[in-house]
A and B are shown apart, each in its own frame.
Chain A
Amino acid sequence: MSSGTSLYDQIAELRARYPDPRSAILPALQLAQAEHGGWLPEEALRGVADAMDVTPAYCLSIASFYDMFHTEPVGRHVVEVCTNVSCALSGAQGVVEAFERELGIHAGETTGDGNVTLRTVECLGGCGWATVVALNNRHRLHVRAGDVYGIVKELGE
């Protein structure tokens, strides 16, 4: 799958992997989201619909069901802090608040310059390595409030 091929062709290739082409909808949306700066604007959903031979509405019903798809704009970086029980017991709220202070936004918001979106998320499956923070889907483990300044610095570059 070369980067030069169109979304339509890439999705066609994904569809061919499954006995029922509709199974390719999650990978197709993942592809489209990556191509559209981390979220799925209407045109992205229309593009996927065309390639998947479904309606844009169908794509929306799928995209809005799963947490990892964003139907609203997100920043260039997405910071997701797990606040489920194990992380919470280990200080996740302190990490959330540190990010809120450093970024000057509430969880659920994007910085004014469009650089960072901060979210709290449910269990990321790293309970023994709390607190888990996903930076653009790559997990940082054992994050403490004190680490946040450095992480935000990284994202600023």
Chain B
Amino acid sequence: MSTATEIVFGGTHGGALTELADYEAVGGMTALRRAREMTPNEIIEELNASNLRGRGGAFFPTGRKWSFVPTPEQNPRPHYLVVNADESEPGTFKDREILLRVPLRFLEGCLIAARAIQSQHVVVYIRGEYEREWEVLVSALEQMRKAKLLGDVTIVVHRGAGAYICGEETALLESLEGKRGQPRTKPPFPAIAGLYASPTAVNNVESIATVPPIIEMGGAEYAKLGRPDASTGTRVFSLSGNVAHPGNYELPHGFPLKDLIFEVGGGIPGGRTLKAVIPGGSSTAILTAAEAEKVTLDYDTLAAAGTAIGSAAVIAIDDRCCIVQLGVRISQFYEHESCGKCTPCRVGTRWTTQILKRIESGEGTHADLDLLIDVGEKVNGTCLCPLGDTAMIAIASYVAKFRDEFVAHVEEGGCPFHGTSSLEGILAPTDVHAAHVGPAEITRPLEVVA
């Protein structure tokens, strides 16, 4: 199986292009020079022709997003390009590798995007945990500054400080403004009033890193890659979980999921069998192994299968995993990351954790299963941002696809895995937190090595 459709990682040959000279040697910065001869509109047109859609998870057409930003004549306030490098969706680690291996391509993309929306101000909001990535990016930026490639554009690299919610664009903007990262009401949309109430485009790292190749090869040419429908081009898929060769793989959209896992990823190790796949990051609905066999990795196919391509993070789960435990762990994640603004999400994510833990412990009833679904329905669609929605969609999909396993917990009065599940006993930050706030739930005995 060929994996050689490298666009974002083009020219890297599996390595990294962190030195400007090396990057220019493989044709780096030619797109920037070309873009500087194009009008902002021409750049946007090229993007429209490519049908590049947001790689962060929302899949919104990038060119269209830029076209929503008013011109300086329409709105004289400074315009901002904000790049969302706050990659935190469980399963996703692609932006990190992009920043490490092609930081200059990414920065080149920033400059082209800034030109498209007529902005002189770029802010890259990089998650605080990405310390090495930050260093690599800052060094790349310094090289470009010295080479006078930045023109009249200022690029600020701003480090986050640990909050998944800041991956949501309005929460990111709040955080960037020095506030708690809580989502804003929309409208106004960022394009109209984003950072400092000014016109702002917020784009994902991978989207931006795809811009130079699109300018170089032409939008129409790029659109020939991948699928002819919504899912043109390539995608950097993050493959993790129970596979032999996890990692990031840049592949064309429409690549079969089973091939990613079994060919590219080398299959399920240890003689286990595939039980389920989370296809687009923790926020997407789970697929059974049988469903996973049939789908390709693109927007329309996955939507038709009742899930989503999301951030293209594929988590393979083998037969050792108790799905109720998976539900607990996912619910704990969202409980931990809920910003606390909207009531249903703040309260609901903690409640679903409690319900799922009770089911896992064998003390749950059929009524608890109904309650779980009902709480999820009351969170889903009632909040400002999608955090609570996706948490509940994911959890509901576990129940829907693996109902028998949930029922077995209730009817057998315990976990049918009897302590052998691959997620058995996993300790989430909220478990630690719970010891400090509210009644402590379990005190684990501690083995001390003499």
**A-to-B contact residues, CB < 8 Å:** 17-20, 22-27, 29-30, 61-62, 65-69, 83-86, 88-90, 92-93, 96, 100-102, 104-108, 119-130, 134, 137-139
Contact = CB atoms under 8 A, between A and B. Distances in A.
Given A120-B432, A122-B90, A123-B89, A30 B426 contact: no
B337 A130 contact: no
Contacts of A90: 241-242
Given A23-B176, A101-B448, A89 B333 contact: no
Interface in B71-117: 78, 87-93, 95-96
A122 B196 contact: no
A30 B92 CA distance: 25
A17 B424 CA distance: 48
A83 B129 contact: no
Determine which residue in B129, B247, B248, B447 has the highest number of CB atoms from chain A within 10 A of its CB, and name it. B129
Contacts of A85: 90-91, 241, 278, 282, 315, 326, 329-330, 333, 423
B175 interface: yes
B336 interface: yes
A22 B315 contact: no
Instruction: Tell me what chain B mostly uses at the interface: helix, strand, loop, or mixed.
Output: loop
A139 B96 CA distance: 12
Given A106-B444, A108-B435, A96 B427 contact: yes
Contacts of A105: 446
A127 B240 contact: yes
Interface in B144-188: 156, 158-164, 175-181
Contacts of B444: 106
Nearest to B164: A122
Contact of A139 (B88, B121, B132): B132
Given A106-B446, A120-B428, A68 B422 contact: no
A108 B329 contact: no
A45 to B, nearest CB: 14
A104 B448 CA distance: 5
Contacts of B326: 85
Instruction: Tell me what chain A mostly uses at the interface: helix, strand, loop, or mixed.
Output: mixed
Interface of B: 78, 87-93, 95-96, 121, 127-132, 156, 158-164, 175-181, 196, 238-242, 246-248, 278, 282, 313, 315, 317-318, 321, 326, 329-330, 333, 336-337, 339, 422-429, 431-433, 435-436, 444, 446-449
B128 A86 contact: no
Given A68-B129, A127-B93, A107 B161 contact: no
- 6 smallest beta-carbon distances between A and B, as pairs: A67-B162, A22-B178, A66-B161, A127-B240, A68-B162, A108-B432
Contacts of A27: 158-159
Given A22-B177, A25-B178, A107-B432, A84 B333 contact: yes
B92 A127 contact: yes
A26 B161 contact: yes
Nearest to B448: A104
B449 A102 contact: yes
B87 A20 contact: no
A138 B241 CA distance: 22
Contacts of A83: 329, 426-429
16 contacts: A18-B156, A19-B121, A23-B176, A26-B160, A65-B180, A69-B161, A84-B282, A85-B91, A85-B333, A88-B422, A101-B448, A125-B87, A125-B127, A127-B240, A129-B93, A134-B129
A93 B130 contact: no
